[in-house]
Structure 1
Amino acid sequence: MSWRDFWNGEHAIYVSPRHKALHYRGVATDLIGHIPAPDAVVLDHGCGEALDAARVATACGRLYLCEAAPSVREKLRAMLGAKANVSVVSPEEVEALPEETFDLIVANSLIQYLTRSELQALLALWLSKLKPGGHLVLADVIPPDVSPLTDASQLLAFAWRGGFFGAALAGLVRTAFSDYRKLRAQYGLSTYAREEIVALIAGAGYEDIRPQPNFGHNPHRMTFKARRPA
């Protein structure tokens, strides 16, 4: 099983419907905060189930949702079919789009599932798809010193605030025996020190690379914003 297979199938990464809803609501709010103008063309690359994408779509001119898992794309199309300014696309379809299409590209909680070479290829692709002066946001980047225990403690804190603490405790027990844990043990998650990820982004041709508040509930992970040169 690969990470794509995992996300394409049934999984229990979210401990309850409330957890999933609050997660996607928070990510949507964070993403909207980076949209530069009401007519902006935005790509959310690795969007997952994007439960609050309709709200993001109202804040921009056009929204592209890119998801590698076919089953998730079908769910997105069923959920957002009535939204004329939303396109659900595969990674291959993003590659086929014209250059200089987007004002903003966001990749949240994605690069930990990629190899370094895969990330470098995507950084180059995103640069070509951004309009001059457009921005890339890489969110939820995991530093090497953030452990699964830290992630678990942050989930429990989020659950306490969000009213699903009991479900979170049960979910952590399920995760210990899940395919997610097995895949994490087999493949690991890609981690980057601050200086390392900044160097990779700069080496791909971006400028004005700045740290930002992280997307979602875990402040121990990192978010960076960078600009394609004008």
Structure 2
Amino acid sequence: MASAVESKLRDLLELAQVVLDDLPVGLLVLSAHGKPLWFNREAEVVCAVWNRTPLRRDALPLKRADFTVPEVLWKECQALLAADNPARAAPDARIIGEADRGLHAVIRLQRRPGRTGPPACFLQLDYRRPRGDRDRPISPGALSLLSRLTFREREVALRVRDGLTTEEIAKELRRSKLTIKTQLAGIFRKLGVANRSRVTAMLNR
């Protein structure tokens, strides 16, 4: 009985990971020592952009040991941790960003109910490219990837590259959200990726 419950729990956790990986928002949890406890793939993309490091082409999960937390984000986390007083309400969230690069972060402390020890830092990360960035050249590698797609899929993929949401793409192309989601599924399959973050990474190389 216990093994059946554990199996179902593992299945639910795997499903949750897939759903969270597909979110267009980066989620990152850091320990009080700055070690990444958990992150989704969009967080990997946002932090790579913040660190000005190349985005990876593959869709394999990044190991926690290889995840590099941007220094500016860790400094804000340290300030929150230093301001924390367990006898009082948690300090207000900090919001920072680089508007010219489309980078934004909301940082909060997450206390552990019933547990001793320092709280963790929860970061919500967003990377939205300026719309004027749409006119930048497409690399030969990205063109090769786009050649695998139909014309209508390419229209969607290029807008994913520019940071548009499913709703924004549907409105701009005058298609239903269901149609866009179906075309996204085709794009993922043909490019061999699991989510839109990977599409963005591959087409921005």
* TM score, norm. by length of structure 2: 0.25
Q: Which has the larger radius of gyration?
A: 2
User: Which has the larger strand fraction?
Assistant: 1
